[in-house]
Structure 1
């Protein structure tokens, strides 16, 4: 895997637990175009750690010619991923350099379609949805679009204002957030109300969230070929809808 030096040109707190990093090549060249939903690999040498660490982060904005944006959740101290995420949150500042790979990944938006589309995310699973949603909002704003997001609470809800700004400029866009600590979870009734089963759904979040959403999408009549998903966490076998 080939890595290139990038500089952090901006660091922006999106929520209590998620921070965005805007990255540009040190040599001031353009970055590769990418398909909404793809990720980059970030390589870091952390003082005190014996090995170089590599982590994958979704690109969280529509493709731009001169920069990448990743949005990183601060993981718990006892989480293996916490070493890197905590270092990024606490130590990496604007002007610092990091090593970045070219974009990759197959969980991507089919931008050629104009049929109904739903983006359904839980927690930090919102990050690939941002590049997908921004792309639809700017390139096919007339496309019927639903954005459903599940967050623990309002303090951990990232990108709310950004999504509302895009939704307000779209003709057929619906946006709803469910807070676990206030409203419970996204249910079959929520999906029946907001999701057109004849369209496509893109789903991303932690495993329990994924299992529930995919099961209920099947139960409202959406065909498996229209359900696109990526686990943020260990992938597991999805049960049948029965």
Structure 2
């Protein structure tokens, strides 16, 4: 792009931001009307909630704002690239998205969308697409070069199902072909894809791998959402209805939220609800490797939804390197007296979590992450030592 084109793109950011909802709604409606096959790739619950639209607008406009130096967004682009790889996004699909995005920009800007401006946006999108394709090609190649690695979807069999709480089941997945599976970093996720009869097409979902790596299986732990007719609950209800022996399509492990299993720094793990899953993988990996000091803070509604409680209690009782603080929003008289009542308050336990050279990992709902991140910053923790995983479209950019 030349400087004039960059200036044209940047000049439209403000108006597109103010019309972000219209832009993305028009985009997705147009794309799914012309290319309905893409419904098999996109999480339609995030379409219904508007989260996907918000995430797309945020990413595209952030790129436009930083058009002169897009490397400032490299971590965001890498995160998106990992999601795309887990969905087996292909380079040619960027052309489809680009066509509908430029048409949507034209629709929103109306008479202001001159041919010169649309050409500048077309060139900007082309350059963004090339950056993403390059990032994703690198991840695909890395996956293929791993022992047991693969590209795209691979059929796995559910070998075992374990109830972890009133809402959560763990699924043990083994490859149907009996060949090795790729190793992963603790905290990463896989995508699973299953047919949804009520929709008439397949739906993918990302689930964190909830155990340390073992060459025998992958384990994911799925929370059953309350309303199966709510778009957010469709896949979780289908998953909870599956039986041992059922088949499911799985992508190779991906994700930038992880620890270095060989590192020697202390860990402070902060989870809310089902956010326990990637942190449990970190904890089990630490147990198998360095046994660095770990402080884990976990918050959930009550004991009935406290997944992996017995397992983590056992680890704490048998390992001096692990300390836990559990918070129940609804604490009963029968609950352990050591359990805190209410939600996590990091200031309440600051003496135990302010550890030299520690790394802090947060996982849970969007509001939960914001509260814990801000608390850590107030306590003097540097942003570069705080990492977080937001389930669903990436709406938070706190670092």
Using the size of structure 2 for normalisation, the TM-score is: 0.57
| Other-structure match for 2:294 | 145
Structure 1: distance between partners of 2:237 and 2:161: 14
1:155 matches 2:294:
no
Superposed displacement of residue 231, structure 1? 1.0
Structure 2: distance between partners of 1:104 and 1:238: 20
1:37 matches 2:187:
yes
Helix, strand or coil for the counterpart of 1:22?
strand
Superposed displacement of residue 227, structure 1? 0.3
Unaligned segments of structure 1, at least 5 residues: none
1:193 matches 2:351:
yes
Larger strand share, 1 or 2: 1
Please give the residue correspondences for 1:93-132 in structure 2 after superposition, counting only pairs within 5 Å.
93-132=243-282
Deviations 1:171-209 (A, max 9, x none): 221012100123111113234033124311110000111
Superposed displacement of residue 239, structure 1? 6.8
Q: What is the aligned counterpart of 1:226 among 385, 390, 394? A: 385
Q: Which has the higher contact order (CA 8 A, sep 6+)?
A: 1
How many residue pairs get matched? 238
Instruction: Provide the alpha-carbon RMSD of the alignment.
Output: 1.6
Superposed displacement of residue 237, structure 1? 4.1
Structure 2: distance between partners of 1:197 and 1:234: 31
Larger helix share, 1 or 2: 2
Using the size of structure 1 for normalisation, the TM-score is: 0.93
Deviations 1:12-42 (A, max 9, x none): 1100111100000011112100000110010
Structure 2: distance between partners of 1:193 and 1:179: 21
Unaligned segments of structure 2, at least 5 residues: 1-87, 89-151, 332-340
Structure 2: distance between partners of 1:85 and 1:233: 14
| Other-structure match for 2:370 | 211
| Other-structure match for 2:167 | 17
Helix, strand or coil for the counterpart of 1:186?
coil
